[in-house]
Amino acid sequence: MDDRMMRAVLFDRYGPPEVLYTARVPRPEPAPGEVLVRVRAFSVNGGETAARAGRVRLLTGRRFPQRTGLDFAGEVAALGVGATGFAVGEPVWGVLGRTSGFGSAAEYVVASPERMGRIPDGRDPVAAAALPVATTAVTALRDKARLRPGERLLIRGAAGGVGNAAVQLGRACGAKVTALARDANLDFVRDLGAHEALDHRSTPLEALGRFDVVMDTVGTGLPALRRLLNPGGRMVAIAFDLSRPVGSLGGIALSAVHGRGRVRFFSGDPRRKDFDDLARHVVEGSLVPAVDTVFSLEETAEAHRALESGGVRGKYVVRVD
């Protein structure tokens, strides 16, 4: 077998999960300052399914084939000239940068050492692949909301990839965590540490009371959530309404300068310090990976389909080897 080639997941047009296929493509080589990672597993995220479906084609363009996959867990295979901080063979996890696009759904990927961290010793890379996205929850609660012990925290989308991590981290911080999720997932989020778990479809928002911090992972109905904030409360949104992106993002921007409770919107862009924090939480036991189902690389389309069907508990992970 030609070691200059590798398997990767591609698509030649926008559409449903069926457009994804596995093909052999040239194995990348690390440029100066980059790291080549042998990918053992990656998870499937909402941004990837939206890109594949063409819902953000203004950003992804019309050049095909395109790749999928944002995060990864594996080990360092080679270092580009001048790359520092890691050694060949070290277990690592990370994400591709905003300017890199997608591409971790493959046997190898090149990444910046500033967007990676070391997986704590002894951790299974397949389980570890469920956690790079948790850096978004770390940043949301640590930096954006500045969550403090004793505060009331509401998390919408609490059973998902970022939401489940936010439940665990909120509990570890000493906050009083209320989780909104599907009825079938309420026991799951309670087991993660939520003090209160409620069905998001049957619980009126006005019945929830007031909160010091609201974290939203869904992106719709943000004005109604914002009204739940106490004076001085903070709201963090990591998603926007893809059915009306201009209006949704405009409303978020307007909230930054008007009204009670600004909405702090951001997309995950973790750096090495965030992965260091992530590893610390894992070692301390305050954050454990939640893997719903493991798929093979050839089953990536099935993983996309499962995520779009809703009801995930934690993360869908794809094993590469």
Range 36-64 average pLDDT: 94
Write the pLDDT tens digit of every residue in 127-146.
Answer: 999 999 999 999 999 999 99
308 vs 221, which has greater pLDDT?
308
Mean per-residue pLDDT over the chain, rounded? 91
So what CATH class is 5-131+290-319? alpha beta
pLDDT (0 to 100) of residue 240 = 58
pLDDT (0 to 100) of residue 245 = 47
pLDDT (0 to 100) of residue 2 = 74
Which of 93-107, 181-195, 225-239 has the weakest average pLDDT? 93-107
Residue 69 contacts by C-beta under 8 Å, 6 or more apart in sequence? Answer: 9, 42, 48, 96, 102, 103, 104, 105, 106, 109
Residue ranges matching CATH 3.90.180.10 in the chain: 5-131+290-319
Range 186-196 average pLDDT: 98
187 has pLDDT over 80: yes
Query: ∠65-136-225 over CA atoms, to 5°?
Result: 105
Residue 294 pairs with which residues in a beta bridge? 317
25 vs 258, which has greater pLDDT?
25
What is the distance between the alpha carbons of residues 13 and 273, in angstroms, rounded to a whole number? 37
What is the distance between the alpha carbons of residues 140 and 142, in angstroms, rounded to a whole number? 6
Residue ranges matching CATH 3.40.50.720 in the chain: 134-265
pTM listed for this prediction: 0.91
DSSP symbols for 49-86: HHHHHTTTHHHH-S-SSEE---EEEEEEEEE-TT--S-
181 three-state secondary structure:
strand
User: What's the pLDDT band for 1 if we cut at 50, 70, 90?
Assistant: low
Across the beta sheet with 66-67, the strand order is 21-26, 5-11, 66-67
Range 169-173 average pLDDT: 98
Residue 33 identity: G
Cβ neighbours around 321 below 10 Å, total: 12
User: What's the pLDDT band for 239 if we cut at 50, 70, 90?
Assistant: confident
Write the pLDDT tens digit of every residue in 14-44.
Answer: 999 999 999 999 999 999 999 999 999 999 9
Residue 215 pairs with which residues in a beta bridge? 155, 236
Range 216-230 average pLDDT: 93
Alpha helices in the chain (DSSP H): 46-53, 57-60, 125-128, 134-139, 161-173, 186-192, 222-226, 245-255, 272-284, 300-309
Write the pLDDT tens digit of every residue in 77-105.
Answer: 999 999 999 999 999 999 997 667 899 99
Query: How many helical (H) and strand (E) elements, i.e. helices and strands, does the chain have?
Result: 10, 16
DSSP at 105 = S
256 has pLDDT over 60: no
Q: What CATH number is given for 134-265 in this structure?
A: 3.40.50.720
User: What's the pLDDT band for 258 if we cut at 50, 70, 90?
Assistant: very low
DSSP at 44 = -
Residue 44 contacts by C-beta under 8 Å, 6 or more apart in sequence? Answer: 300, 303, 304, 306, 307, 315, 316, 317, 318
